[in-house]
Amino acid sequence: MNPGFADLLPGAPGGGNLRVWLKSAAYTRRLLLGEGGDPWQGAAQYLAWFSQAHGLLRPDVAVIEVGDLYQSLVRREPALATEMAAKRRLAWPLRRLLESTAPRALLAEVIEAVIAHLRGQAPLVLAVPSPRQWLLQANRMAGRDAIELDPDSIEDAAMYVADVLRSVSHLPVGGLLLEERIDDGELGPVDVERYRPLINVARHYRWTLGLRLGKAALLSIPDGSDLDVLIGDPALVNDAGCAIGVDVGRRLWAAEAPPPLEPRQFYFAEVPAEQKPEHVLDCLAQLRSLSSRCP
């Protein structure tokens, strides 16, 4: 794993000092680019937005939302959705979406530009939908709503995502965050073993690997050698032998006090797009103040 990020995690041998992990792409995109604004028109456009957004909230972890790149691609190339629907196999829409070379090249350019801008002041993490979530999203882009996921298709999806990530493996990425959907309870428990291709990629390239859960529980607690970070409700993740991100977003934006941090924990929050800037700054100031008082 990238030691620059791994050493920041609570419980790291060097005494990690990460206390707040903030995600804010939807919020800063609306605030800086307006409704429907799209920073993925090119590397220069992305960096112009990213530098403003990063300076606005000064997060401790820099995040590139890889899923947003592919959503932008489908909006700009509507014929792609037709091609994604051309075969009935459940994994085909995602395979067709991710096999294009142009978005991979743009992603690499964006990563290079962002890393140069950060100058080592914050670790860079690539956030991607989890394989089962991206499988669902791609099928919906292809016009399919009533679908049932199966384990083999989820593993196929993991292989397609892993192939995209290998295309940027030559760049000094700090970590990879897989994200389940927040309201995914109806999908059943998350089987991390089906994500093995992505676990292998992260381990091979020494990337810190995190998983953000929604409402669905884990089928089984993953081994500490598989995941470095679990993010979600502490009741779902606190038995894991890795760093724990306590997702306090709902409490934070409702002006409720987050629980104090315990050993190996940090706060995690995503800023909703519709939040008002004054409220965001006030809430983040309170969260950072609270985190600084935790052991």
- Listed in sequence order, the residues at least 6 apart from 212 whose beta carbon sits closer than 8 Å to its beta carbon are 177, 178, 179, 180, 231, 232, 245, 247, 268
pLDDT of residue 14: 61
- pLDDT digit string, tens, across residues 24-54: 999 999 999 999 899 999 999 999 999 999 9
pLDDT of residue 295: 65
CA angle (96 as vertex; 73, 24 as ends), nearest 5:
40
For residue 170, being part of any structural domain is answered with yes
pLDDT of residue 12: 73
Calculate the alpha carbon distances from 96 to 10, 46, 67, 90, 135 in Å: 39, 24, 14, 11, 11
Q: In whole angstroms, what is the distance from residue 175 CA to residue 72 CA?
A: 23
Q: In whole angstroms, what is the distance from residue 217 CA to residue 231 CA?
A: 12
End-to-end CA distance of the chain: 25
Boundaries of domain holding 81: 3-290
pLDDT of residue 234: 78
- Domains identified in the chain, total number: 1
For residue 150, being part of any structural domain is answered with yes
pLDDT of residue 1: 46
pLDDT of residue 94: 98
User: Which residue numbers in the chain have pLDDT < 50?
Assistant: 1, 3
For residue 23, being part of any structural domain is answered with yes
CATH of the domain at 186: 3.20.20.210
- pLDDT digit string, tens, across residues 241-265: 889 999 999 999 998 989 999 888 9
For residue 295, being part of any structural domain is answered with no
- Nearest-CA neighbor of 198 among 263, 129, 267, 96? 129
For residue 111, being part of any structural domain is answered with yes
pLDDT of residue 184: 76
For residue 228, being part of any structural domain is answered with yes
